[in-house]
C-alpha cells in the first residue's frame, strides 16, 4: 500500500496538509528559548480563537485522552459527586476517568445513536447536587453531536461545572466556549486541526480555576495550574513536542485564512454530501438524524453483509481508510470521517468507492 495515496476517511487521525508536513520537518529548537515562547504564544492565541474563548488555554503534550484526564483531576476531589452523561464510547471514557480518580459518579446513559436528552439531564441535575457534569460534544463512536449549549445551560443553573470532551469536533463543528458557558473543554490535535496526534488542548474558565483551588485529585504531568504558571513566562512545565507546535502554527494559519465559520460550513457541507450519498446507495444511516455529526457519519452495511467486507474492499481496492464501530457497535456499523482537510473531491472519491463495495457485496450475495 502506498502511503502517499492513502485517503484517510476515519474520524481522526486525518490527512495532513503539505504546510503541516513541512512544519513537522523543521529543525529542532530549544523549549526554553525565545523562539519557542513566540511559537507558544501564537499557538495559544490561535487555539483560543478556535475554542471561541478568552479564558486560559493550556496545550499538553499528550493525546486527547490525556487532556480528559487533566480536565477531571484538576477540578475535582475524590468523593465529589459528578453526573456522567453518556451517549457512547467516549461518554463512557470521561466518566470512567472520573471514577478511577475517586469521584462519586452517577451515570445517565442514553441509547447509542441518541443525543443526550436535555430534559432528562435537567431531571437528573434536580435530584442531587453535582460538582460537575461530564459529556461529549461530538460522540465519535455513534456519530452524534450533543446539544452542548442546552446541556451547559441546564448545568449552569445548578452551579455544576461543565466539563466537555470536544476532542473530535473542535474546529469542525461550532463550539462557543464563552458564550455557551463551558467551564472546561478538551480538544485533540489529530481531528479537525489537521495535525498528527500528540497535543491536547484544555480551556479553563475562571469558575473552573476557583474549583481547582480545592481539587484534591492527584496530578503531576497534567497539572494545569503549573501549566498556567509556566505559560506566563512562555514555557511549558515539561518538555513540549516542539515539532507539533510548529505544525500547529501552520494549521492555525490555514484555519484562520479559511475562517473558522467557513471551516464549520465546509464540514457541514461535506457531512450533508456523505449522508445523502450513503442514503442514495440504499444504506441505512445509524443514529438520530436530528443530531447527526458534521465530522463523522455512521451507517449500516447492506443487510447480511459484514461491515469489515465493505471497509476492506475500500482499503484494498481504493486505498481509502474508513472504519467500523467501537464498543457495543463493533461488527455492526461503518463510519466515514469527514473532517480536517476534507473537501468535496475526497467525499466523491469515498462515495464512489463505497458504491463499488456495496455493489460487490450485493453480487456476492446474489
* Number of neighbours of residue 348 by Cβ within 10 angstroms: 12
* Interactions with its own copies, residue window 56-75 (CB under 8 A): 61-66, 68-69
> Is residue 32 involved in binding its own copies (CB under 8 A)?
yes
| DSSP symbols for 119-173 | HHHHHHHHHS--SEEEEESEETTTTEE--HHHHHHHHHTTT-EEEEE-TTTBTTB
* Sole binder of its own copies in the list 102, 181, 225, 234 (CB under 8 A): 102
Determine the interface stretch with its own copies among 100-108, 111-119, 281-289, 348-356 (rule: CB under 8 A). 100-108
- Which residue lies nearer to its own copies by CB, 27 or 363? 27
User: Of 29, 151, 28, nearest to 86 (Cα)?
Assistant: 151
* Sole binder of its own copies in the list 217, 250, 333, 354 (CB under 8 A): 217
* Sole binder of its own copies in the list 47, 83, 84, 97 (CB under 8 A): 97
Q: How far is it, in rounded angstroms, from Cα 311 to Cα 124? A: 40
- Which residue lies nearer to its own copies by CB, 158 or 243? 243
Residues 6+ apart with CB under 8 A from 263: 171, 172, 192, 255
> Is residue 225 involved in binding its own copies (CB under 8 A)?
no
Q: How far is the CB of 239 from its own copies (least distance, A)?
A: 4
> Is residue 321 involved in binding its own copies (CB under 8 A)?
yes
> Is residue 353 involved in binding its own copies (CB under 8 A)?
no
> Is residue 22 involved in binding its own copies (CB under 8 A)?
yes
> Is residue 37 involved in binding its own copies (CB under 8 A)?
no
> Is residue 234 involved in binding its own copies (CB under 8 A)?
no
> Is residue 346 involved in binding its own copies (CB under 8 A)?
no
> Is residue 244 involved in binding its own copies (CB under 8 A)?
yes
Asked if residues 298 and 335 have their Cβ atoms less than 8 Å apart, the reply is yes
The sheet with strand 104-109 has its strands ordered as: 104-109, 81-86, 132-136, 161-165, 184-188, 199-204
Asked if residues 234 and 306 have their Cβ atoms less than 8 Å apart, the reply is no
* Sole binder of its own copies in the list 120, 128, 210, 221 (CB under 8 A): 221
* Sole binder of its own copies in the list 53, 177, 241, 294 (CB under 8 A): 241
> Is residue 27 involved in binding its own copies (CB under 8 A)?
yes
Q: How far is it, in rounded angstroms, from Cα 49 to Cα 281? A: 39
> Is residue 307 involved in binding its own copies (CB under 8 A)?
no
What would the grid cell of residue 336 be? Answer: 466515514
Asked if residues 187 and 171 have their Cβ atoms less than 8 Å apart, the reply is yes
> Is residue 13 involved in binding its own copies (CB under 8 A)?
yes
User: Of 147, 112, 155, nearest to 130 (Cα)?
Assistant: 155
Residues that bind its own copies (CB under 8 A): 1, 3-4, 6, 8, 10, 12-16, 21-22, 24-33, 35, 61-66, 68-69, 96-97, 100-102, 188, 190, 196-198, 217-222, 237-244, 321, 323
Amino acid at each position: 500500500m502506498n502511503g502517499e495515496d492513502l485517503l484517510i476517511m476515519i474520524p481522526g487521525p486525518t490527512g495532513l496538509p503539505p504546510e503541516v508536513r513541512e512544519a513537522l520537518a523543521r529543525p529542532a529548537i530549544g523549549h526554553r528559548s525565545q523562539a519557542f515562547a513566540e511559537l507558544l504564544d501564537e499557538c495559544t492565541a490561535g487555539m483560543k480563537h478556535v475554542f471561541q474563548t478568552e479564558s486560559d488555554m493550556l496545550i499538553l503534550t499528550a493525546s486527547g485522552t490525556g487532556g480528559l484526564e487533566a480536565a477531571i483531576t484538576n477540578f475535582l476531589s475524590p468523593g465529589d459527586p459528578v453526573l456522567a452523561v453518556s451517549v457512547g464510547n467516549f461518554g463512557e471514557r470521561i466518566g470512567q476517568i472520573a471514577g478511577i480518580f475517586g469521584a462519586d459518579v452517577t451515570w445517565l446513559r442514553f441509547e447509542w445513536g441518541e443525543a443526550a436528552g436535555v430534559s432528562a439531564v435537567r431531571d437528573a441535575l434536580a435530584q442531587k447536587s453535582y460538582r460537575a457534569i461530564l459529556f461529549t460534544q461530538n460522540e465519535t463512536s455513534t456519530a452524534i453531536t450533543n446539544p452542548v449549549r442546552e446541556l451547559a445551560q441546564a448545568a449552569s443553573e445548578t452551579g455544576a461545572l461543565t466539563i466537555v470532551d470536544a476532542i473530535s469536533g473542535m474546529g469542525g463543528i461550532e463550539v462557543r466556549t464563552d458564550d455557551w458557558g463551558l467551564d472546561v473543554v478538551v480538544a485533540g490535535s489529530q481531528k479537525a486541526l489537521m495535525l498528527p496526534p500528540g497535543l491536547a488542548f484544555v480551556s479553563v474558565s475562571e469558575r473552573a480555576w476557583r474549583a481547582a483551588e480545592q481539587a484534591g485529585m492527584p496530578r503531576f504531568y497534567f497539572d494545569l495550574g503549573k501549566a498556567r504558571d509556566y505559560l506566563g513566562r512562555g514555557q511549558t512545565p515539561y518538555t513540549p513536542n516542539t515539532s507539533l507546535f510548529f505544525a500547529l502554527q501552520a494549521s492555525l494559519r490555514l484555519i484562520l485564512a479559511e475562517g473558522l465559520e467557513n471551516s464549520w460550513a465546509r464540514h457541514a457541507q461535506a457531512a450533508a454530501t456523505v449522508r445523502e450519498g450513503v442514503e442514495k446507495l440504499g444504506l441505512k444511516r445509524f443514529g438520530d438524524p436530528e443530531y447527526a455529526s458534521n465530522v463523522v457519519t455512521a451507517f449500516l452495511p447492506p443487510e447480511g453483509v459484514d461491515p469489515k467486507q465493505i471497509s476492506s474492499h475500500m482499503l484494498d481496492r481504493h486505498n481509502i481508510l474508513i472504519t467500523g464501530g467501537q464498543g457495543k457497535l463493533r461488527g455492526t456499523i461503518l463510519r466515514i470521517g469527514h473532517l480536517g482537510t476534507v473537501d468535496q473531491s475526497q467525499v466523491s472519491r469515498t462515495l464512489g468507492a463505497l458504491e463499488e463495495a456495496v455493489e460487490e457485496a450485493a453480487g456476492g450475495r446474489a
